[in-house]
A and B are shown apart, each in its own frame.
Chain A
Amino acid sequence: MKKKEFIVITILLVISLGGIALYYIINATNQPLYVRVTSQGEVVTILPLSEDHTETFYTPSGGYNTLTISNGKAKMTDADCPDKICVKTYPISSPGETIVCLPHKLVVEVVTGNP
């Protein structure tokens, strides 16, 4: 590998890792965290991340997504979308983290205080 390539790759690594770190630092907070569920661009519900809870959301077309909050982490536990990408997404617990179900246009995100 040439020197030029090595330098550019290092810069890109620093940008991406630095960006991720910066994102977590900026969004770090001691305020209570909430989980905001958005469907078709509209907020459906806001749930506290501190309470264990399981809820199933239905889309207008009849599909469903089951969201489970436990131990301060939110995870999509079940869905009937074709790709199941939302179910495979890691559990979210920090502000700004998201779980997206593209076929159902459902977004689950962690937000801070006073929703």
Chain B
Amino acid sequence: MNSKAYRLVILSLYVSMALILSYVESLIPLPLPIPGAKIGLPNIITLVSLLTLGWPLTLLVVVARVLLSGFLFGGGFSIVYSLGGGLLSLFVMALILHFTKDGFSLILTSIFGAISHNLGQVIVASIVVQTSSLMLYFLILMFLAIPTGLFIGITARELMRLLDKTTIFKRLNS
């Protein structure tokens, strides 16, 4: 199998795994009266994809996951917010990984990704409802993003450690 087809297989695996994690996430509501607070399970895939495929292909993974999960499990309305959060989050995480090179911390990348995801969602929500009073709401979400981002970061780090032992990614860059 040539490397282009191989990359396509990995890419579609990422999309399907992210989609499943979106669904699993929708089954476990956090027992918090804060709307929009999520664990962010699909971000595990976004992180792994950023590390293995780079940001241009990860952009495809994120957009495909948001559109598919929006049409399958959410209302058409939730797509706009997920997209706002997902894209800002991806942008911030890609920047961090780009500028820190080998000295990066997956945990910190994940936490900043989680915070910027919330920021993206709050910005889109502020535009939609035409209000500027969502600052407190963002601060609460930011506080919650720290433990969830930490959890996702540790999970992604351990997953990468296991995946690096396999030969899956050896052929990716050949």
Q: A interface vs B, CB < 8 Å?
A: 1-2, 4-5, 8-9, 12-13, 15-17, 19-20, 23, 38, 40-41, 82-83, 85-86, 88-90, 96-98, 100, 102-103, 105-107, 109
Contacts and interface: CB of A to CB of B under 8 A. Distances in A.
B136 interface: yes
A85 B146 contact: no
Contact of A9 (B111, B133, B142): B111
B108 A107 contact: no
Say whether chain A's binding surface is mostly helix, strand, loop, or mixed. mixed
Contacts of A100: 35, 125, 129, 131, 134, 137
15 contacts: A4-B108, A12-B111, A12-B146, A13-B143, A15-B142, A16-B139, A16-B140, A23-B135, A40-B130, A88-B33, A89-B35, A90-B33, A96-B136, A98-B131, A98-B134
Given A41-B130, A105-B129, A107-B133, 5 more contacts: A16-B139, A40-B130, A82-B77, A86-B35, A89-B34
Range for the number of chain B residues in contact with chain A? 20 to 34
B12 interface: no
B75 interface: yes
A107 B131 contact: yes
Contacts of A41: 129-131
A5 B107 contact: yes
A1 B105 CA distance: 10
A13 B111 CA distance: 11
Given A82-B75, A102-B77, A102-B128, A20 B136 contact: yes
A83 B75 contact: yes
A40 B131 CA distance: 10
B68 interface: no
A1 B146 contact: no
Interface in B133-157: 133-137, 139-140, 142-143, 146, 150
B39 interface: no
Given A88-B35, A97-B136, A16 B142 contact: yes
B21 to A, nearest CB: 20
B33 A8 contact: no
Interface in B118-132: 125, 128-131
